[in-house]
Amino acid sequence: MGILVSSLTKAQLSTLFTISEWVLLVSTIILVTGIIGEGKTPWWRLRHDLYVFLVALGCIGEFFGEAGIFVFSRQLQTLEESEISRANILAGNAGDNATRAKNAADKAEIISSKAGTSAEAALRKADLARKDVREASKQLARIRTDAQAVEAEANKTKSDLINLAVCNAPRVISDWFIAGGVSRSYVDELKPMAGQVVFIEFVPDAEARRAAENISRTLAQAEWDVKSIQLVNTTS
């Protein structure tokens, strides 16, 4: 895998990096849709299985999307560092050329009375060398700016997607808890009061409905008499 990625060009890596970002974004949307649908749909409905499948598909897509972003951004960074290194070498060579040209110009000035033409040629070489230095410095600055922009965009995209997934994740009341280092069920704690009559009401909210259904299921398993579970109209 490493050999295959290292053989790609910068343009190909940029394309694959963009594709990975889109895969991660679409997978996150699929995952959020599946989670919301799974929470709103009773388990015996056929659509519940579809939402479960969407959750699994979204998780798999997020894995491959994040893996692609990590691998391709790291390889892009490697290429950028390689280009910066080459640019540094070019700048160093250009600096050496400028130094040699300046020395030649100094010598030409000493014998300018006898070799005016040679001095002018040396000065032209010095000017060309200085231009090379300036061009290499500009190229190095552009490469560094591009590398910083790619890294900043990758970090921002990853942070935004993580925040989106966290904000849209549903809250679920578990049927199990830890007591004294041992996993226990809420059903065990409620069974001694079996037969209690319960009426459950909830406000128009997806999390409130999910919590009410969890409580109803737990009480039913504890053999309580759950008479009803209904929505409360809060608009009146």
Q: What is the DSSP-derived secondary structure letter of residue 226?
A: E
Number of H helices, E strands in the chain: 6, 4
Q: Are residues 71 and 23 part of one domain?
A: yes
Which of 168, 188, 220 is a domain's end point?
168
Within-domain flag for 236: no
Q: Are residues 139 and 23 part of one domain?
A: yes
- Residue 56 β-bridge partners: none
Give the per-residue pLDDT at 115. 56
Q: Are residues 201 and 124 part of one domain?
A: no
Q: Are residues 195 and 148 part of one domain?
A: no
* Rounded-to-integer distance, Cα 126 and Cα 2, Å: 44
Give the per-residue pLDDT at 199. 93
Q: Are residues 219 and 150 part of one domain?
A: no
Q: Are residues 40 and 118 part of one domain?
A: yes
Within-domain flag for 24: yes
Question: 113 by DSSP, 3-state: which?
Answer: coil
Helix axes 10-40, 206-221, angle to 10 degrees: 60
> What string of pLDDT tens digits covers the 236 residues of the chain?
555 666 777 787 788 888 888 988 888 998 888 888 877 777 676 777 788 888 888 899 888 888 888 887 888 888 788 888 888 888 888 778 878 878 877 776 777 666 566 667 778 888 888 888 888 788 888 888 887 887 888 788 877 777 665 555 555 555 555 556 666 677 888 888 899 999 999 888 888 888 888 888 888 888 999 988 888 887 75
Give the per-residue pLDDT at 130. 86
- Residue 228 β-bridge partners: 199
Give the per-residue pLDDT at 186. 73
Determine the structural domain holding residue 162 and report its residue range. Answer: 2-168
Give the per-residue pLDDT at 71. 81
